[in-house]
Chain A
Amino acid sequence: MKTIRFYLAPLYLSSLIVALSACEFESSNNLQGVPDQGLFIYLEANRHENGDIAQIAAAVFKDSEPLNAVGGDVFKASTNTSEVLLTEAGYYTGSYYSSLPISDVDQDVTLTIVHEPVLAREDRWYPVDVINVDPGPSELVGNSVTVTLPPPVVITTAQTATPYISISDSINLTWGEGGEGDTMRIRAATTCDNGLNVSTYGTEVALGDDDGIETITMNNFIFDSAEEFPAITFIANVGLGMLQQVLNDLSAGKADPDFFARQLPANPIESDCEIRLFLFRQRNGVFDNAFDNGSVKGSTSAEFTIYYSPG
């Protein structure tokens, strides 16, 4: 009888409870389409502003619950010229991240579940190649998903100089159109300061088709934390880790690891806020039949920053 090498860690529930208790409203899960039953694979591989690394985020869900990779099973992301093991656990148990060196000749990123009992333990202090409790590979080992990175995002118009003063203000955004079938999404990393406290959080908004133009209102990023159900979508789950990975790469690893912990001592609507907006172009990839469903995307992104000052 085959064993399942991935499992639900109780830590997931506790971390979710901690995350939810840190705020007064319930966060939505931006990971759509996770079935109640069966295996679901998530992968996003992103190249930011034509950089030389791609941010990789991956997770597997079984019966809608995230699974941990254990026993030496690990995700491996690879291109034709480089590969990396995703040995860093993400914000939520069951999600894994890494950065993958990438060049212009690499358009496809493949994620494979491999069994690497030694390499997965490389951070340990003792000789893991001669002292190793290896349970062998799970049934998921060998399965893979592949994504193609879409064309780079080029932002052509965005009002960034003048601060926005109201959450009803609109941002007129244009960008160079990409390939057909791609979709656009904005993820925001916002820092608000009321003079006494600082709040940091992440939100996102789906823009739909890659048509090169969008008008977005500030209430997608700035909200009143006194409201019970603000009209805002917080980044949750693995998407959160993806943006954290982007911030890490942009700051040479010095990004605040708790940036998206959503501590909100300063009410954003009453504070001066810096909003780093990351425009993502996303393209669906393909996954093996071993998975019942999946959200598998290659993406490229570009950043611009706007400011909110209620006056």
Chain B
Amino acid sequence: MQVDVNGSITFLDAGGNDDFESGRAISVFFDYNLKPWLALDAGLIVSDKAQDKIRTDIVGTYQASLGTRMLLLGIKPRYQFDGPFEIYGRTGLTYWRTEIEVEEYFNDVIPGGVATNSDKGYGYYLNFGALHNVTQQVSVQIELSYIQQLDVFEGKSNYPFDLTITGIGIGIGYRF
């Protein structure tokens, strides 16, 4: 069994004219070894609120931000080279909860405000990583991630979208 903890820089793409600044996320994975080269993979990812850029249109000046939390369940195949190096992948399904907050201002006379809404749903993830075993128990790793949240706000809104989250992270693993 193994526990991995990664800190990541994330990049969000909602498929429209969004232009998010990079965000941050922390992920924790628990791996249960089914075979020497394959593990059951379960994880939790929590991101901070990534900010879209400030925009002005004919309605007002606004800024949107998006935060998300995800549970992940899948498999983790891996390949151990001779020596301390190893590569691995993770793939599976994710259950997410995503919240969007919009702060909007109009002018000095009309008060602005903040509106928030959230949705839950499913998606999938596909990660690749490489690690270096520092000791028999402890490893350091670098991991690329690709997560797709499907149909965000589908059924609630006439304007649903798919959210793509890519990221690069570093972390440590502990085997026991």
Contact = CB atoms under 8 A, between A and B. Distances in A.
Contacts of B62: 124, 133
Contact of A129 (B52, B64, B159): B159
Contacts of B60: 70-71, 133
A299 interface: no
A89 B60 CA distance: 12
A117 B106 CA distance: 13
B117 A3 contact: no
Contacts of A74: 58
Contacts of B102: 126, 131-133
Given A87-B58, A126-B14, A133-B115, A71 B156 contact: no
Given A89-B58, A131-B117, A133-B102, A125 B107 contact: no
Contacts of A117: 59
B116 A70 contact: no
A11 B55 CA distance: 14
Contacts of A96: 58
Most buried by A among B17, B107, B111, B161: B107
A195 interface: no
A123 interface: yes
A276 interface: no
A5 interface: yes
Given A129-B157, A131-B102, A4 B58 contact: no
Interface string A116-143: 0100110111111111110100000000
Contacts of A3: 109-110
B107 A133 contact: no
Most buried by A among B17, B113, B159: B159
Interface in A214-242: none
Contacts of B104: 133
Given A3-B110, A70-B106, A127 B58 contact: no
A71 B160 contact: no
A121 B57 contact: yes
A20 B116 CA distance: 43
Contacts of B36: none
Nearest to B13: A125
B137 interface: no
Contacts, number: 97
B114 to A, nearest CB: 7
A7 interface: yes
A124 B58 CA distance: 11
Contact of B110 (A5, A127, A131): A5
Given A70-B106, A135-B106, A129 B58 contact: no
Q: What's the dominant secondary structure at chain A's contact region?
A: loop
A69 B108 CA distance: 14
B153 interface: yes
B110 A70 contact: yes
How many B residues touch the partner, as a band? 35 or more
B83 interface: no
A117 B15 CA distance: 22
A89 B18 CA distance: 20
B50 to A, nearest CB: 13
A72 interface: yes
A68 interface: yes
Contact of A125 (B101, B106, B109, B161): B161
B142 interface: no
Interface string A75-105: 0000000000001110000001000000000
B100 interface: yes
A237 to B, nearest CB: 17
Contact of A4 (B109, B117, B161): B109
Contacts of B135: none
B176 to A, nearest CB: 43
B112 interface: yes
B58 A130 contact: no
Interface of B: 14-18, 52, 55, 57-60, 62, 64, 100-104, 106-117, 153, 156-161
16 contacts: A7-B109, A71-B59, A71-B110, A96-B58, A117-B59, A124-B16, A124-B62, A125-B16, A126-B16, A126-B159, A126-B161, A131-B101, A131-B115, A133-B60, A133-B112, A135-B110
Interface of A: 3-5, 7, 9, 68-72, 74, 87-89, 96, 117, 120-121, 123-133, 135
